[in-house]
Amino acid sequence: MPPSSESDFNLHHPQPLLIVISGPSGVGKDTVMQRMKERGLPFHFVVTATTRPKRANETHGKDYLFVSKEEFARMIDEDELIEHAIVYGDYKGIPKQQVREALSSGMDVVMRIDVQGAETVRKMAREALMIFITTEGEEDLVRRLEARKTETPDALALRIATARKELKRVEAFDYLIVNREFHLDETVDTIRAIIEAEHHRVSPRKVTL
């Protein structure tokens, strides 16, 4: 016997998902996000606000919202952020209104956040879909960080030490994906498959912020 209405199993109008992509520095989170955008996946990609300086290859409003520390402080005071944290000396945060508007439109929302921030989001939105990106091993992660050559030795040592601690936080997440080198599209395909499967749950996630 068919269900009494379409909403019974939410097949035609699935609940939008709040998707958190996280993991230690150096695992390729930004690269994964960029590839998802290049492939035109039908998600709203949250633009994170940060006080760190803009790099040469970055665009304000696309890669990050680059703001002053004074502006960031105002955003905190006026409760405009879902979460915020100090990451390697700079502030990063997720604009609340941006996420709410995207969810209200029915779009799945994808956020790229550090591990500390991801755990804060989980506390606020228990039904968020949490995906942890990692490398094939700790040695691989350290090698990737060293190969970037974008930091002083002291800053690199701090980033490596933090990454090692973050690897131990994987149990706070729903899914684990190994982002192997030269297999970027495979990683994106896996993320897409997880999201698709989540939309077929009998009891869908219902995100509230």
Tens digits of per-residue pLDDT, 105-131? Answer: 999 999 999 898 899 999 989 999 999
In a domain, 28, yes or no: yes
Tens digits of residue pLDDT in 161-199: 999 999 999 999 999 999 999 999 999 999 999 999 999
* Residues involved in catalysis: 55, 148, 159
Domain count, the chain: 1
SS (H, E, C) the chain: CCCCCHHHCCCCCCCCCEEEEECCCCCCHHHHHHHHHHCCCCEEECCCEECCCCCCCCCECCCEEECCHHHHHHHHHCCCEEEEEEECCEEEEEEHHHHHHHHHCCCEEEEECCHHHHHHHHHHCCCCEEEEEECCCHHHHHHHHHHHCCCCHHHHHHHHHHHHHHHCCHHHCCEEEECCCCCHHHHHHHHHHHHHHHCCCCCCCCCCC
Q: Is residue 207 part of a domain?
A: no
For residue 67, give every residue at least 6 positions away whose Cβ sits within 8 Å of its Cβ, in sequence order, or none.
Answer: 49, 50, 51, 75
CA distance 88 to 86: 6
Residue 183 lies in a domain: yes
Is residue 45 situated within a structural domain? yes
What rounded mean pLDDT belongs to the chain? 90
Q: Please report whether residue 124 resides in a domain.
A: yes
Residue 29 lies in a domain: yes
- Dump pLDDT digits (tens) for 16-68: 999 999 999 999 998 999 999 999 999 999 999 999 999 888 899 988 999 99
Residues 6+ positions from 13 with CB-CB distance below 8 Å: 6, 7, 106
CATH number of the domain that 161 lies in? 3.40.50.300
pLDDT at 63: 86
Domain assignment present for 164: yes
Structural domain boundaries, residue 40: 6-198
Q: What confidence score (pLDDT) does residue 116 get?
A: 87
| 206 is a domain residue | no
pLDDT tens for each residue of 65-90? 999 999 999 999 999 999 998 877 89
